[in-house]
Amino acid sequence: MENNFTLIIANKFDYCIDSIIKWLKYHKLNYLVIDPDKKVQINKIKLNNQYIDIELNIKGKHVALDQIRSVIFWKGRIEFELPAIQKEELVKNMVIALDKFLKRELNTITQYIYNELNKKRIFGLCITKNPNKLILLSKAREVGLKIPNTLISSSDKIIKSELLQQELITKPIQEIFNFRSKKEIHTSFTHFIDVEYTNENKDLIFPSLIQEKIEKKYELRIFYFNKEFHSMAIFSQTDDKTRTDFRDYNYEKPNRMVPYTLPNEIKKKLKKLINVIDYHSCSFDMIVNMKNEYVFLEVNPLGQFDLESVTCNFKIEKKIVEYLKS
């Protein structure tokens, strides 16, 4: 492999990664993608008293640690090519224990490689688990950002009594539920809770998150990268007509989306939060409510940025490549 290249650890078919690669090619910069289909062999990880050396074999390409200039961590992971292990003679419980053991062995190796890669110039975030959304929400509150009043409860009664006081929405606590079969697709989005919903008078429900419904002037999509905020306002406060037939409307008359400049006070708070959670780049979802207050909804370390990049002509992909080669 050539020297000074960018290692990309990503999933297949990611629009953001594809557009970054276009700019890498345009600047004739070398890069190598590790996606889930490319299993990695370890030539060597040398830890001795003089130096550290890592050499991986990625589908026939031999990659040494010091050839790598920069790394993009984007929803991918390193997976190793493994030999078949004879387990036929082992008892079932032994197989389970052995698998667990081998998995931990591999994990330690990958974590160590990530640790060394993290010393390079980085875009994205090396994460093995998605950060806990509730912890993030509480940290946003701690830095002084306004958050929506939130309740998690497994009591139907408590939720109903909240509902008497204000309009509520419900959404998944951590991630969107996605189910695809040949016949149907189920996806969970944010939903309003109908005041008159019934639950056959059973009090115990699955623990669910509910939040106050915020009347919004506009939504903000904010992509933070290299100490710069790229913000876009989305005028999604639609009238009744569009609510009933949203898709049709969206096609003919997409919501207005324009560049936005955050007030310094909000930028300061977001920067504080970024420092606390230690992200290189991330995207924020916020709302400006009818009282012109900024309400934090969530932060995503690997949020897609292509929509604001194109709509607001931010050229984020181009800036990322300029950052990676600098």
Partner 1 sequence: MVYKLFACCIPVKGYRRSIIVDTQRMNYFIIPNGLYEILINNECYSPEKIKKELEFKYNKVINEYFEFLLNNDLIFSCAIEQINCFPKLSLKWDAPHHIINAIIDVNEKSQHDYNSIFNQLSNLLCKHIEIRFFNKVTLSFISEILLYSDYKSFQSIDIILPYSIDLSIVELNKVLDKYSRLTNIVIFNSPDITEIKNEGEDKGQVLFIKNKIVDCTSCGEINPSSFTMNLDFFCEVQTFNSCLNRKISIDVTGQIKNCPSMAQSFGNIKNTSLENVVNNKEFKCFRNIKKDDIEVCKDCEYRYICSDCRVYVRGHKDVFSQPAKCKYNPYIAKWEGEKDYVSIEQKGS
Residues that bind partner 1 (CB under 8 A): 19, 22-23, 25-26, 233, 235, 253-254, 256-263, 288, 292, 310-315, 317-318
Q: Which is nearer to partner 1, 252 or 278 (CB)?
A: 252
Least Å from the CB of residue 292 to partner 1? 5
Residue 194 CB, shortest distance to partner 1, in Å, is 31
Least distance CB 69 / partner 1 (angstroms): 19
Q: Are 246 and 238 in contact (CB under 8 A)?
A: yes
Please list the alpha-helical segments (H only) found in 118-184. Answer: 133-142, 156-165
How many C-beta atoms lie closer than 10 Å to residue 57's C-beta?
15
The CA-atom distances, in angstroms, between 134 and each of 24, 298, 308 are: 37, 10, 26
Closer residue to partner 1 in complex, CB, 126/220: 220
In the bound state with partner 1, the residue whose beta carbon lies nearer, of 100 and 256, is 256
Burial 254-273 (b: 16+ CB within 10 A, else e): ebebeebebeeebeebbebb
Indicate the residue among 62 and 253 with the shorter CB distance to partner 1: 253
CB of 228 to partner 1, least distance (A): 13
By beta-carbon proximity to partner 1, the closer residue of 241 and 256 is 256
CB of 71 to partner 1, least distance (A): 21
Nearest to partner 1 of 184, 252 (CB atom): 252
Question: What does the alpha-carbon distance between residue 49 and residue 225 come to, in Å, rounded to a whole number?
Answer: 37
Report, in Å, the least distance between residue 60 CB and partner 1: 18
Tell me how far apart the alpha carbons of residues 321 and 168 are, in angstroms, rounded to a whole number. Answer: 42
Q: How crowded is residue 140: how many other Cβ atoms within 10 Å of its Cβ?
A: 25
How far is 225 from 270, CA to CA, in rounded Å? 12
Report the Cα–Cα distance between both ends of the chain, in Å, rounded: 20
